[in-house]
Each structure stands twice: as structure tokens, then as C-alpha cells.
Amino acid sequence: MAVGLYTNLYKDNDLSVTKSVISVLESADIEYYIDPLLSEYYPEKKVYDDNVFATLEMLITVGGDGTILAVGRRCAENKVPILGVNKGTVGFMAEVETQNIEQLVSIIKHGEYDIDERALLCAEYKGQVFYALNEAIVYRSDTKMIMVDVFIQDQLVDKYACDGFIVCTPTGSTAYSLSAGGNIMSPKVKAIGLTPINSHSLHTRPIIVSDQEVVDIKVRRAYEDTVLIIDGVEETKISLNEDVRFYKSDMTLCFIRLKSSNFYSALLSKLNIWGQTDN
């Protein structure tokens, strides 16, 4: 079995990290395949196609969390775990920092890792199903607030006048939901987070529900069509009085974790980095 290599060329624009990863893999005699987009820079390397991708032991990503989101569904569908090398700003999902790339050898060659399985969220609208690792957002498409009704198991939870509404996984609780005042959830929690964005109310609070429950959001009022955003990508427009349904997917996405990895220590470290500003 071989490993795959996927690079965000925007994050690693000089390919310095990618070169280091390739050097480590080759020095340890680890078989690997590169993403087709990398073949322009490494025409002599083996490239994975769909058939090869499905057989990979893992996919090494070079970039940030957005890079992982970009390949997440493909990896989930093929049951290929992700090993992230962090070239992003915070990198909650990435496991290896660029200064520790040599750790790849002990992880890949000697199996010194654990598997971290993460839930995916389904967002269903007019028969289309979208899959989110972090979050799905019902959001305004102009500068005006929207009015949404939120239901859990067909029971009305509340009516919100807001800029938008976030439905997130435990993984996504440290992403946009956190910035909007949502709760941080342990990845081991079997739950879905509900976070209004800039709600015009004094009583509004984020809500955590069981991942066995179904959430429906209906847009009651908007000046323009609202949009459904999945992991940062706008997917479709939402019409008034049409339900968007959210529920836990049967698919999961697996991550490669160092045996010394700890969510809470990583959380403290990453949030401290996030809070820093450039002088």
C-alpha cells in the first residue's frame, strides 16, 4: 500500500514544504503518488487516479484546514484517512507541523498513530444532499437581516432575525461557529451545534442537540434569496418557505493522529495562536 500527497499550491506556493515531504518519503523508501495538479512540477512522479486513490493507505495534505475540507468528501467516500501537514494559520485538523516533517516516517512506516474518526453533516435541500465536515450555513445574500424558523424533530425551537444560521459538527465547533459565539465541542461528542449569526435578540443562545435529531431551517423573510454555504463554499440559493434539513451522515472522515496527540492541549495552543495579531 502507498500513500498519496495533495498540496494546496496557494499555501505552499514555492513548494518548499512539498519538497521536504517528498524528500522524507523517498529517504525512507515509502511508496507514494502525487495529486495530478502536482504533476506539472514533478512530471517524473507517479500520479494517483481514482482507482489508485481508493487503495491509498492515507492521504498527506500540505496546507491548512481549508485544504483538508477540499479533499474531505473524496477521502470519506473512499475511506482514506488524512494526515495533515500544517501550512495554514491555525490548522485544527492538521497533525504535523512543518518543522516536524520527519515524524512522517514513524507514522507511516512504523504505524505509530491512532485513528480519529469524525462525523459528517448532511444538508438536504430540494432533493440535493451536501456533505459538510465543519458546517452548513443558511446565510443572507445581501446586507439585510433574514428571518428563519428553526425546528428540531418538527418542533419549533425559535424564530431568529439574524445574518445567518450555522449548523455544525463537533469538528466545526472550532471553526466559524466559534467565531460567531458557539460552543466548543469535543470531537468525541455525538452532537450537532446550532449557532445564530448576529441574532437581533437578547435571549438568543447557541444550542447543542443530539446527532440523532433532525434539524430543519425555514427562511420566512428575506429581501433576496438566501444561500446555503457548505464548508465555506456557496452551493445553492434557498427560496422562501422552503425547508433545509440537516442530519448526521452515515459517512465519516478519519484522521491520522500521533499517539501523543491531545485535543485539549492542541485547542489551548491553537487558540492562543489564533488570538495573536501582527504588529
Q: What dotted CATH number matches 3-112+259-274?
A: 3.40.50.10330
- Greater pLDDT, 149 or 261: 149
The answer on pLDDT for 276 being more than 60 is no
Q: Report the share of the chain in percent with pLDDT over 70.
A: 97
Query: Active-site residue numbers?
Result: 65
Confidence of residue 277 (pLDDT cuts 50, 70, 90): very low
The answer on pLDDT for 78 being more than 50 is yes
Does this model's pTM top 0.95? My answer is no
pLDDT at residue 79, rounded to an integer: 97
How far is it, in rounded angstroms, from Cα 106 to Cα 28?
A: 10
The answer on pLDDT for 204 being more than 70 is yes
Report, as an integer, the average pLDDT of 20-33.
97
235-257 pLDDT, tens digit per residue, is: 999 999 999 999 999 999 999 99
The answer on pLDDT for 61 being more than 60 is yes
Break the chain into its structural domains and give their ranges.
3-112+259-274, 121-249
Superfamily of domain 121-249: Probable inorganic polyphosphate/atp-NAD kinase; domain 2 (2.60.200.30)
| Mean per-residue pLDDT of the chain | 93
